[in-house]
Amino acid sequence: MKEPRLHRMVMPDHLCPSGLKALDLLKREGFEVDDRPLTSRPEVDAFKAEHGVATTPQIWIGDERIGGYSDLRKHLGKVKEGTTYWPVGILFAMTALMALGAGWVATGEAISILAAEWFVSFSMCALAYLKLRDIEAFSLSFVNYDLLARRWVPYSFIYPWAEGLAGVLMTAHILDFISIPVALFIGTIGAVSVFKAVYLDKRSLKCACVGGNSNVPLGFVSLTENLFMIGMAIWMLVKPSMG
């Protein structure tokens, strides 16, 4: 096994995080690393000029220059290309655990109707937050397939706020006359839009459900998000009559 050589910045006022992560990754892969810290700005500048590179860290394995930390991850097969459901899966897992924990405190039961309701409303709030982190990126992705947003672009900026509002109100079980129609409206338009884009038009798109610039494929997950909202709205509408 060829010994990697790592050049990274280790200065009194700056420890390069990418260099530290590269060192850790190489060690975890079983390499004995020739770690060569660059301890001053003149040393860093001289290294870049000598090797014709713009950034550090830089990694060599044998005589082959791999590049920086991102290049190293690709070289070692640590980068998965294509789409993934991981962001949505971990979000739903966290909101489910939060709902179970909150439900336990509120009712003393491990599983309850309240916990199920909170799972949906917590998920709506979390998904709205991810969209609002970069609402421009979300809007750019959303108008690719949402039927109302394609006709009226401002709706792509309203949607995450509406989803978050409905989620908060449903969590608190207040102002049903606002949360129910809002969730029913945006959920129905969203479900129809996703179904048309994916199952009728057979388009291959990225889902905006966790915000813009995601690798989550448009399809079942986004449809589920909208069906959750529709189901929650209908449940809260009929629940009083069941009591």
Domain ranges of the chain: 4-75, 86-242
**Among residues 86, 94, 95, 85, which one has the least CA distance to residue 123?**
95
d(CA 33, CA 186): 54
Task: Provide mean pLDDT across the span 77-100.
Answer: 84
Q: Write the pLDDT tens digit of every residue in 130-180.
A: 999 999 999 998 998 999 999 999 999 999 999 999 999 999 999 999 999
Query: From residue 154, how far is each of 15, 19, 151, 187 by CA, in Å?
Result: 44, 43, 9, 17
| Amino acid 126: pLDDT | 94
Residue 242 scores a pLDDT above 70: no
> Tens of pLDDT along 49-66?
999 999 999 999 988 999
Q: Which stretches of the chain are assigned E, i.e. beta strand?
A: 4-11, 14-15, 34-38, 58-61, 64-67
pTM, full prediction: 0.79
Going by pLDDT thresholds of 50, 70 and 90, the confidence category of residue 208 is confident
On whether the CB atoms of residues 81 and 72 are closer than 8 A, the answer is no
Provide the 3-class DSSP secondary structure of residue 35: strand
105-128 residue pLDDT tens: 999 988 899 999 999 999 999 999
Residue 154 phi, psi dihedral angles, 5° rounding: -55, -25
**What does the pLDDT average to over 85-111?**
91
pLDDT at 225: 84
Is pLDDT at 1 greater than 60 in this prediction? no
Report the candidate in 122, 131, 136, 148 with the shortest Cα–Cα distance to residue 207.
Answer: 131
Average pLDDT, the chain: 90
Instruction: Give residue for tokens 């949505």.
Output: 88
126: nearest Cα among 178, 181, 171: 171
Contact 55, 68 (CB under 8 A): yes
Q: CA-based angle 56:2:5, to the nearest 5?
A: 20
Region 207-218: what's the mean pLDDT?
Answer: 76
Q: pLDDT band at residue 191, thresholds of 50, 70 and 90?
A: very high
* CATH code assigned to 4-75: 3.40.30.10
